[in-house]
Amino acid sequence: MDINNDLKILTKKEVLAWAFYDWANSAFATIVLAGFFPIFFKNYWDSYSDTALSTLHLGIANAIPALIMLFLSPLIGAFSDIGGFRKKSLLFFTLVGCISTFSLFFISKGSWVIASLFYIIGSIGFMGTGIFYDALILIVSPEKKLDIVSAFGFALGYLGGAILLVFCILITFFPEFFFLKDKAQGVRISFPIVAVWWLLFSIPAFLFIHEKKEELIDIKSHVTQSIKRIFHTISNFRKNRVIFFFLFSYWLYIDGVDTVARMAIDYGLSIGFGADKLVLCLLITQLVGIPAAFFFGYLGQIIGSKTGIYISIAGYFFITIWGSMIKNPWEFYALAFFIGIFQGGIQALSRSFFAKIIPKNRNAEFFGFYDMMGKFATLIGPLLIGFVTSWTHNHRIGLLSIIILFFAGGLMLFFVDEKGKAHIE
């Protein structure tokens, strides 16, 4: 482990620009997806529904963009690979996400359907950026440094999300100091703040990351070629067990990870914890996630990405069981601490592991499939919690239902050869 060499890699202009995009869009993941939207949805936009029904509504709002991106991800990934459109595609989805997030400010109380619509569009923008952001790692990072570069991106994301979250907490807890009427207005104004932050800090990526320019072809031919390429890649999966088994494993365990991130606030509100305490728990997760992401990045270089992922899966197994039984506020804070440890680790190592086993010249296409599996997971998890909770009227059983996903994902990961490399004809 050469720390000086790692620092040289991490301080390269294109690596910093790439990592700062995580700083930019993590504001949406932290403040909108995980924090303020679930709180405001349950207490303001959908306040006339009972808690079980609002949980179902939130689960559906999370599932719809996942379903849409399930079908779009491989196509837009292949499309951008052929024409060198990764940065342009990243810009398009960034604008979609930012405009939709900004628009949440204008939605009135009780309008949960309209709020859900803008949330769905914003989530599609956020999910779409993930495909091209992840794919660009192979342009900015040497293959041997993928673990630490991937972790660096997540660490900056946690830091940026934490800084903006602190500011949004302040304007929510002390609205009069910022010339606002009440806490509700503090939450509402947080949405345009996130949008501006996301757009502003994405600029370095568009300026300093340089992808190879390719001769463009007409759109009809472009789309036809993209579709043919996808089916050709799928046919090759049968010959590349390492990709097939990893994607299947990733789909299962990341389902649980993303569901915990998106539904934790709703779960805490439903079992009686105050919104103020839950937002502080989210801040704990962000702050702990910064050193944890770096730790797992180095751990992946020492013991291997696969072993590091297994450690994180075991951590989430423990988190889910404990979370279904908590009764005291201090337990929620402790869980937030452990989520911070394992969340960044499993995300960073999964991304770098996948980057190691795919062909470099097909990175956006393959990360389209990677993103597709992740979004398919986001479709199943929230719906599972939503329907189980609605059926049993027990939020604790709803949370516990996702534990099977961690077990099954870990089992499937056993069949993945960490030294394997895909060979695409």
pLDDT digits (tens, 9 = 90+) for 306-331: 889 999 999 998 988 888 888 887 88
Q: What is the pTM of this model?
A: 0.72
| 420 falls within a domain | no
The residue with greater pLDDT, 277 or 83, is 277
Confidence band for 30, pLDDT divided at 50, 70 and 90:
confident
| 107 falls within a domain | yes
Per residue, what are the HEC states of 5-20?
HHHHHHCCHHHHHHHH
Q: How far apart are CA 167 and CA 390, in angstroms?
A: 35
State pLDDT tens for residues 270-295: 777 777 777 788 788 888 888 887 78
Q: Report, as an integer, the average pLDDT of 67-91.
A: 72
| 79 falls within a domain | yes
| 418 falls within a domain | no
pLDDT(215) > 50: no
Ranges 34-38, 198-202, 375-379, most confident? 198-202
Number of independent structural domains in the chain: 1
| 425 falls within a domain | no
| 421 falls within a domain | no
201: domain range?
3-211+218-413
| 237 falls within a domain | yes
| 423 falls within a domain | no
What pLDDT, on the 0 to 100 scale, is given for residue 117?
94
Confidence band for 193, pLDDT divided at 50, 70 and 90:
very high
Q: How far apart are CA 344 and CA 158, in angstroms?
A: 8
pLDDT(125) > 90: yes
| CATH number of the structural domain spanning residue 12 | 1.20.1250.20
Per residue, what are the HEC states of 128-195?
HHHHHHHHCHHHHCCHHHHHHHHHHHHHHHHHHHHHHHHHHHHHHHCHHHHCCCCHHHHHHHHHHHHH
Q: Which range is least confidently modeled, 149-158, 347-356, 414-423? A: 414-423
Confidence band for 239, pLDDT divided at 50, 70 and 90:
low
Distances (CA, A) of 413 to 57, 157, 211, 281, 342: 32, 26, 32, 30, 17
